[in-house]
Chain A
């Protein structure tokens, strides 16, 4: 199993490198420091979302509400800034709101036992509804200049701030998963939650924290999005939902739970970002971009399941042509 996981990451990595080579051949401006940095800027928002989604999918759960949580966060930050005048307090409140949303999901899933798909299908609309009611459906753009730092600022000259935030969070998540007891339990629950219970693991607690974690990631993502576009709006973040799930699966996280790594997810996210950026530079129409991205996902998943496919073909030939 470890062998299989490794080989998927390797295939994905090769695919990624091949992609970079092709893009740099087709679009001369692709392989420049500035463009690559802007790729990392574009991928950070849904990358951070994908970090939370990865942890959830490892527990064999799913969270469809992360996009809505990000949107709600932007509204909470904007409104609490208008009300308090303190940017720091506003951002902290926004992240708290994300954590609460995650806790709400977590309680319904872990304590009451409603399937994650149903809970988050409901809360996806519910959280979005709260954001719409709070904002009366309007976009809010009353932010001070400093607010734009997270989404539009640069560190050390030309490194986008959100790239740094994404990297730090990715490393943090990776450490949480691989080093802490909680991380170990996350994998155990995803593999076999019954056996986890029989080993004294408090599965409900583990799951609750998983959903809170994803809520916080979604909130941070929302904060960066609204900082970049200088606006708070209920539907910001919604577009990233499916993309973050797709990137996670592309990165080798088993949709049935139990295995997956943050490293894989980061590569999965990078593949999507490079594709989008490269295709833009080449001048492929946005409509064809979707088509190519979907195709890429299918191709990589097919290649990494090649051994199974090969076996089926061999048996088919044996049965029908011998």
Chain B
């Protein structure tokens, strides 16, 4: 039993341009085991997965054993043929092919020069059945929701006789019902002796599904434990190398002045009859399941999702926000949910990202950007928010998640906003940086900005907000004062239980 490892990695190192992303990492996964891989952002999880799945080639000295046999993984298809499949966050399948084609493509058994469609369909159906799902193999992949697409990806892995399925943050795009379903599927896989490597930031999930856990930190292997041998504080300690928990911060002062008032705002299919008031100095937390209309509401206030009816009142006057540019002019900032896609110009410098929204005000009399002034301003906020490294010319795409988020925050702070909306401000950010971001948000509120924090993470909502709005199916179902709120109560409201 002890030597029944499906996969063993030893001495895995990977260097990118002089920087060691992985430094002598090892990983052992037993047959049919659900194994969690945890670590802060930048700890090397993604790089390790990419080595395992043949995307990256490890440095010299690496040893990879599959079934106790030393192997070389040449490329992603080679990894799949050797029984290692990855379910990526963004699925990475072909939207314009059918479910059956997606499952079978590249499978030597059926994907031959002359395609045998009945065989393809059979293989697809049996793979879907093994997952324990019901999906029409003739449907186009793009017509399925993300949860079903994920199931198709799992079915594909099964059809390739995977002995290890790697799931990279599989629940990040799922609703809670769908997460339950995924747990079922993982359980099913385990029973069929298929191991799962489960990467997640969410401890609840890790403790729910995993039998063992491997912890990485700064590209190094820290420890591997049976999950029952390590409790949450211990796990966090191993991840960050120190004790942390969220610090609940109270408002210093909430003014009576209402900065933002939303009256009966509705948009068909998104949200309906939303009313709330945000006062100067206050942090409102908005929570609810994914798909409850939170982000759509935020985008409506930021001018990117035109509401059907209702009004938005800023500092006492009703305003029409027709574009994001209008919102910026009115003093509304929005830190979007997807940092890479919506928040940052990745190939541009820290400095130029920070000043992108206020270029006009930095112009000299020749209508050119005053670079000295620009750099001074950017420098000031890099210091204030402690962006690391303190290098204005560093490309934003090369920073860690937490520091990228600080740059997005800085971009809005330089606009002197009256209202700042943050959508999952700490998603994909390590725990140390999460607390720093919470502190920044509280400081902003103390300086008189009205702040809205949208988050799925209940401990975060409880730690940062003064007032909590709970949304379900497009409506606000409850408004709870921070002092009276508990995780259980919020969850019950959000689920409609």
Contact = CB atoms under 8 A, between A and B. Distances in A.
Interface of A: 1-2, 175, 179-181, 184-185, 187-188, 191-192, 194-202, 258-259, 315, 318-319
Given A187-B348, A191-B346, A197 B369 contact: no
B489 interface: no
19 contacts: A1-B347, A2-B393, A179-B369, A180-B369, A181-B359, A181-B367, A184-B352, A185-B356, A192-B341, A192-B345, A195-B344, A197-B324, A198-B336, A199-B411, A200-B327, A200-B328, A200-B357, A201-B356, A201-B357
B249 interface: no
A181 B367 CA distance: 8
Interface of B: 57, 72, 74, 302, 304, 323-325, 327-329, 334, 336, 341-348, 352, 356-357, 359-360, 362-363, 366-369, 393, 395, 411
Contacts of A259: 347
Nearest to B415: A200
A202 B323 CA distance: 8
A195 B393 CA distance: 19
Contacts of B323: 202
Contacts of A196: 345, 356
A200 B360 contact: no
B144 to A, nearest CB: 24
A199 B356 contact: yes
Given A199-B411, A200-B328, A202-B323, A184 B343 contact: no
Given A188-B345, A191-B346, A192-B346, A181 B369 contact: yes
A198 B57 contact: no
Given A181-B367, A188-B356, 19 more contacts: A2-B395, A179-B369, A180-B368, A184-B356, A184-B359, A185-B359, A187-B348, A188-B352, A191-B346, A192-B341, A192-B344, A194-B341, A195-B342, A195-B344, A197-B324, A200-B325, A200-B327, A200-B357, A258-B347
A259 B367 CA distance: 22
Interface majority SS (helix, strand, loop, mixed), chain A: helix
Nearest to A181: B359
A197 B343 CA distance: 9
B359 A202 contact: no
Nearest to A175: B368
Contacts of B348: 187-188, 191
Query: Among the interface residues A180, A198, A199, A259, which one has the most CB atoms of the partner chain B within 10 A?
Result: A199
Nearest to A314: B57
Nearest to B395: A1
B72 to A, nearest CB: 7
Contacts of A198: 302, 304, 324, 334, 336, 342-343
A319 B345 contact: no
Contacts of B367: 180-181
A195 B347 contact: no
Nearest to A192: B345
Given A185-B359, A187-B348, A199-B411, A194 B327 contact: no
A294 B387 CA distance: 46
Given A2-B395, A197-B304, A319-B72, A191 B325 contact: no
Contact of A201 (B325, B329, B352, B363): B325
Contacts of A188: 345, 348, 352, 356
Nearest to B324: A200
Contacts of A318: 57
Query: Among the interface residues A184, A192, A198, which one has the most CB atoms of the partner chain B within 10 A?
Result: A198
Nearest to A188: B345
Contacts of A181: 359-360, 362-363, 367, 369
A4 B341 CA distance: 23
B12 to A, nearest CB: 15
Contacts of A195: 341-345
Nearest to B333: A200
Nearest to B366: A179
Nearest to B361: A181
The 9 closest A-B pairs by CB, nearest first: A200-B328, A181-B359, A179-B368, A198-B342, A191-B345, A199-B356, A200-B325, A200-B324, A199-B357
Query: Among the interface residues B57, B327, B334, B359, which one has the most CB atoms of the partner chain A within 10 A?
Result: B359
A181 B72 CA distance: 51
Nearest to A202: B325
A307 to B, nearest CB: 10
A200 B302 CA distance: 9
A259 B334 CA distance: 26
Nearest to A200: B328
Nearest to B78: A319
A315 B57 contact: yes
Contacts of A258: 347
B305 to A, nearest CB: 12
Contacts of A202: 323, 325
Contacts of B344: 192, 195
Nearest to B72: A319
Contacts of B357: 199-201
A153 to B, nearest CB: 31
A20 to B, nearest CB: 32
A258 B344 CA distance: 13
Contacts of A201: 324-325, 356-357
Contacts of A199: 324, 328, 356-357, 411
A321 to B, nearest CB: 12
A199 B412 CA distance: 8
Nearest to A318: B57
Contacts of B360: 181
A252 to B, nearest CB: 14
A170 to B, nearest CB: 17
A194 B339 CA distance: 11
B324 A319 contact: no
Contacts of A2: 393, 395
A12 B24 CA distance: 40
A199 to B, nearest CB: 5
